[in-house]
Amino acid sequence: MKLNTQLTLPTLILGLVIVAIPFTANWNLPLLNGTVVRWIENGQALWLLFGAVFTFCYIRPLSRPEGEKQFWLWAAVWWLVLLGRSTSWGRDYFPEQPKILFRSISVVLIAMIILPVLLSKRLRQDIARRVRNEPLPLWLLAITAGAFLISDTVEHHRLLAPLFLHNAHYGDLIEELYELPFMAGLFLINLGFMQRDKQEEYSTVHVGEPQLAE
C-alpha cells in the first residue's frame, strides 16, 4: 500500500470544518422543530445520488477494460448503498409502505456489494491491484474516517461525545453536520481514483499513437 502524505487545500478545508462544527451548538441556531436537520438529510441524499450518477457518467465503467469495469460498477453501487442507508432504505420518504419493502431493498443493495466480490475474480484482482499500487491520500482518508467516527460517537452518545457535542439539544444537527465532511471526503477520494484512471488511459492512448515524421 502506498500513502500520499501531501496536504491539499480541500483536505485542509475539511479539517477546519471538522474543528469548527462543535461550536455551531454555541450559536443558538434555530432548529425549526427538526426542519433544519431534515433539510441537511435531504441534501445528503441528493449528494449521495449525485455521487453514483457522477461516477457512472465520468468514468463510464462499461467502456473500461475488464477489472476496471467491474470495479467502477461496484463503486457506483456503493454510493447507492450509502444513499439507501441514509434514508433508512427509503422509509424516510415513504413511511406508509410495508416494512418488508424496505428490508428487501436493503438486502438487494447489500447483496450487490458483497456478491460481486465473492463471484468476480476480475473485481478482486482490481481491488488487490489498487491496494498495492494506488497512492492513498493519507490526510484526506484520516479526516474522512475521523468525521464518520465523530458522527457515530455523537449519534450513540459514546464516551467522547461531550468533546464534540456542547449542547445536547443540538445532537441531531451536530451528527448530520459531521456526515457532510465524511461524504465530501469520500467523493474526493473517489474522484482521485477516477482521475488517475483517466490519466492512465490518456497516456496509454497517446503512447500507442504512431509518431508522424516531420
d(CA 60, CA 63): 6
The mean pLDDT value of the chain amounts to 91
Radius of gyration of the chain (CA): 20
Residue 80 pLDDT more than 60?
A: yes
pLDDT score, position 208: 52
Residue-level length of the chain: 214
DSSP sequence for 43-68: HHHHHHHHHHHHHHHHH-GGGSPTTH
> What does the pLDDT look like over 6-16, one tens digit per residue?
999 999 999 99
